[in-house]
Structure 1
C-alpha cells in the first residue's frame, strides 16, 4: 500500500501513460484517420463520377447555353476543375477553364485514345454521355488529383498535431510533477534553516506519506532527539553549576579557618624553617582560594549570570593602577619590571573596569606562578593599522613548559570569555623563551575608510 503512495509509483504511472496509453491512442487514431482519409478520397471520386453522369443524363436539349450553365454550376463546387463538350458530330462545342490544347474535331479513334490515356490518370477524368439517348455527344470533367488528396494531407497534419499535443502534455505533466517535488524539497531546506530561541531546528508539518514525507518525518525525529539531548544537557549543566557553586562555598569555609589558625600559630615564637613552612602553606591556601574564585567566575560567565557593566575608561591609567597593586609581589620575587605605556590615538576604551581588573590579575598571576625563572615582566603598548594593543611579556619557560604547575587553563578561559564579551580581541604566544599576551581593541573606522586587519 505504501508503494502506491510513493513518488516512484506516481512517476512510473506517468511513464506507463506515455509509453502505452499515448502510443496506443496514437496508433488507433492514426489507423482510423488514415482509413478514413483513403475512404474519403475514394468516396469523393465515386461521388463526382456518379453526380457527373447524373447531371449529364438530365440534360434533354443539349445546347451550348444549357451545357455552359451545367459547367458553371460545377465550377462553383470545384474551382480548379476544367470541363468541355464534344457534340454528336465530334465538334468541340463548349469548354470552361481548359488549359490544354484540344482539337476542334474529334473522331472515334482520337476519342478512344483520349479516354484510354486519362483512365486512372492525373488529372482525374470523368466522361459522360449527354442526355438519356446518348445522341448528344459527351461531356468531360477533369480535376487534379492533388485537390482531392489535400483532405487526406490535412488529416495527416491533424494527426501530427495531435501527436505533438500529446507529447507536450506529457512534458507538462512531468514538469508539474517535478516542480511539486522541487517545491517540497525547497520547503524542507528552508525549514532546516529555521531556528527557535534555543538555536534548535523547528519541526515541520508532514503532508504526504511518500519519500519526501518520510524524509520530513525523519527530520522531525531528529529535531525531537536534539531537543531531548539539549534538555538533558541543560539539566546536566545546571546540576554541574550548582555542584561547583556548593563546592566552592563549602571549601572556602575550612580554608578561612585554616588561614586563621596559621595566623595564630605564626604569631608564636617559631624557628625560621617552621615559619617558612607556614608561609608556603599560606601561599598554597591563597592559590586554592584563587582557583575556587576562578571556578566560580567561570561558572557564572558560562551561565551568563556575571553582570557586565561597560563604561568609558582611560585604559592606560587603569593598567597603571592595576600594575601598582602587583608591584610589591614582583619586587619580592626580584622581577625586572619594564613598563612603557605610550599613548593611543584614543585612550578611552568601552570596557567593564572590574572585568578588566580580573583579566589583568589573571594574566599577571600566571606570570608570578609560571615565569619566576625569567624574573622579567614587561607591559607596553603598540598601535597597528587596525588595532591598539596592550602587550604583556615575560621571559619564563612558557605556560606549558613547567609541568609541575597546573591550573592555568581555567584562568585563561575566563580571560577569553571576558575579552570577547567586551568586544575586544586577544592572543597569546608562549614558548621556551617566554610568553607574550596581546589585548587588542579595533580602532574606530572613519566613514568611507577601511581598516586593514
Structure 2
C-alpha cells in the first residue's frame, strides 16, 4: 500500500479530492456568508407584501371600491398605501387625461396625457422595472386611472437581495478555486514533463565509452521506477560492453596465435613443394604439385586477409592519409598486376584518363591493399571470362576508378570461393579514407566503382 501513496496516480487523485473539497467548502462558506448578510438586512415588507400578483390584485380591488372620486379621497387612498409601502410612488390621471394627484413621483410627468403618451407609458412599464400597476377608478374608465410603482428589488426577500448583491463574489470565488486547481494541475504536470525531459536528455548524452549516462533517482514514483530501470539498462549495457571487449581481445589473440601457428606449417609445406618441383616427376604429379602450391598461396592470402580484418576491426591498422596522384598510383598498381593477368591469359583493357583534379587524399598502403583484393577477386571469380578492364569515369557528382570483368559473378561458386573477408576489408578501407564504392555483380560480369565525390573539393576550398 505504501508504494501506491508514492505514485503519481495517488498524487493526482489527491489534487482532485483537494479541488473538490475546496470548491464545496468555498461554496458553503460563501452561502453561509450570504445567509448571514441576509439575516442582518431589515425589510419593512413581509412575505405577503412581496407577492407581486397579490399586490396587483389588491390595487385593482381597492381602486374599484372607490365610489366617491375626489382629490381628498384619492390622496387618502395613496396615504394608506404609502404606510404599507414606504418606497412606492403613486399618481392619478383623471377622465380628462389630466394629472390630478401624485405622491413621491421622482420622474417629471406631463400635466396633460395624450393617448399616445399613455400607450407608450404602459408599454415601457409592462413587465419591467419599476413594478407598475395601473387600475381604473370605480371600475369606470371615465374616472381615469391610478398608478402604483415600486422598484422590484425593494420587494425582493433579503436572501435574494443578498444573493444578487454578493452573488458575483460567489461566482468569482468559484472561478478562483477552479483557477487554483488548474494552476496546481499545471505545476504537477510540468514537474512530470521536466523529469521526462531530463530522462530523455540522459538517454541522448553519452559517456566516454559511448554509453548513456545514469540519472539520479530522486523519487520512488512511476517516473522514478522508469529512471531506475534506465539505470539498470545502462549498467547491463556497460557490463555487456566489457564482456564484448574481453571476448574481442581473446578473439584477436586467438586469431593472431592461430595465424602464426598456421604460417609455420605452411612455410614448411611450401619449402617441400619447391623441392619436389625440382625433381623429375610424372606428369600427373606435376599437376598435383601445381594445385598444392596454388592452395598454399591461397591459404596464405586468406590468413593475411584475416589478420588485416582483425586489425581493422580493432582500429590498429594505422591510417596515413596523403595527397596522391590517383591516376599515376592506379597505373603503377595495374602495372604490377600485368604479369599475373598475362600468365592467366587475361585480356587487359586499361583506359585511365585524367580527372579535373587528380589529387586524392588517400593512404597509399590502404588503397594498394584495396586494389590487390579487387584484382584477386577478378582472378578468383572471373577466370572464365578471361577479361579485366580498368578505366575512369567523371560525372558532376564524383570521379571514379572502375574495375570490371566478364566472369560468372561473385555469387557463382568457384574453386577459390572465400568467406567474403577480402571485400569486407575493401569496404572498411574505402570508407576509412572517406571514399565510397558500389558493386554490381551478375552472371555477365562484375563492375566495381571506387568513388570520390566532388563536394569534398568545395569543402576543402572553403
Q: What is the TM-score of this pair, normalised by structure 1?
A: 0.77
Consecutive unaligned residues of structure 2, counting only runs of 5 or more, are 46-69, 90-103, 107-149
User: For residue 254 of structure 2, what is the aligned residue in structure 1?
Assistant: 243
Written as runs of structure 1 = structure 2, the 5 A alignment for 1:394-433 is: 394-402=405-413, 404-433=415-444
3-state SS, counterpart of residue 309 of structure 1 = coil
C-alpha separation in 1, matches of 2:359 and 2:279: 50
Distance in 1 (CA, whole Å) between partners of 2:168 and 2:398 is: 79
Cα drift, residue 287 of structure 1: 0.5
Q: Please show how residues 16-415 of structure 1 align to structure 2 within 5 Å.
A: 16-19=17-20, 21-41=21-41, 43=42, 112-121=76-85, 123=87, 146=153, 153-402=164-413, 404-415=415-426
Shift in Å at residue 113 of structure 1? 2.1
Which runs of no fewer than 5 residues in structure 1 stay unpaired?
47-104, 126-139, 449-453
- The question of whether the paired residues in 2 share the 8 Å contact of 1:33 and 1:156 is answered with no
Q: Secondary structure of the equivalent of 1:304? A: coil
Which moved further from structure 2: 401-410 or 300-309? Answer: 401-410
How much has 1:278 moved relative to structure 2?
A: 1.1
Per-residue Cα deviation, 1:309-352 (whole angstroms, up to 9, x for no partner): 11111111111111112111111111111000011011111111
The 3-state SS of whatever aligns with 1:342 is coil
Q: State the alpha-carbon separation in 2 of the partners of residues 285 and 4 from structure 1.
A: 74
Contact 2:27 2:174 in 1 (8 A): no
Residue in structure 2 matched with residue 137 of structure 1 by the alignment: none
Deviations 1:381-425 (A, max 9, x none): 000111101000100001111254321500000000000000100
- Equivalent residues, number: 374
Residues 285 and 122 (structure 1), Cα distance of their counterparts in 2 relative to 1, 3 Å cut: farther
What SS does the aligned partner of 2:420 have? helix
Question: 1:341 and 1:180 mapped to 2: Cα distance?
Answer: 66
Q: Is the 8 A contact 1:382 1:390 kept in 2?
A: yes
Q: Is 2:393–2:400's contact at 8 Å kept on the other side of the alignment?
A: yes
* CA distance 1:292–1:446, shift in 2 (3 Å): closer
Deviation at 1:118, TM superposition (A): 3.0
- Per the alignment, residue 4 of structure 1 pairs with 5
Match of 1:15 in 2: 16
Structure 1 residues 436 and 277, CA gap change in structure 2 (3 angstroms):
same
Q: Distance in 1 between matches of 2:201 and 2:281?
A: 76
Deviations 1:338-370 (A, max 9, x none): 000011011111111111110000000011111
Aligned counterpart, 2:445: 434
* Cα distance between partner residues in 1 of 2:83 and 2:457: 102
Aligned-pair distance for 1:31? 2.6
CA distance in 2, matches of 1:119, 1:380: 124
Asked if structure 2 preserves the Cα contact closer than 8 Å seen for 1:381 and 1:390, the reply is yes
| Aligned counterparts of 1:305 and 1:2: Cα–Cα separation in 2 | 52
For residues 403 and 360 of structure 1, the distance between their equivalents in structure 2, rounded to whole angstroms, comes to: 20
Q: Distance in 1 between matches of 2:25 and 2:88?
A: 35
Q: Do the aligned partners of 1:387 and 1:442 also contact (CA within 8 Å) in 2?
A: yes
Q: Secondary structure at the match of 1:253?
A: helix
Cα contact 1:33–1:155 (8 A) shared by 2: no
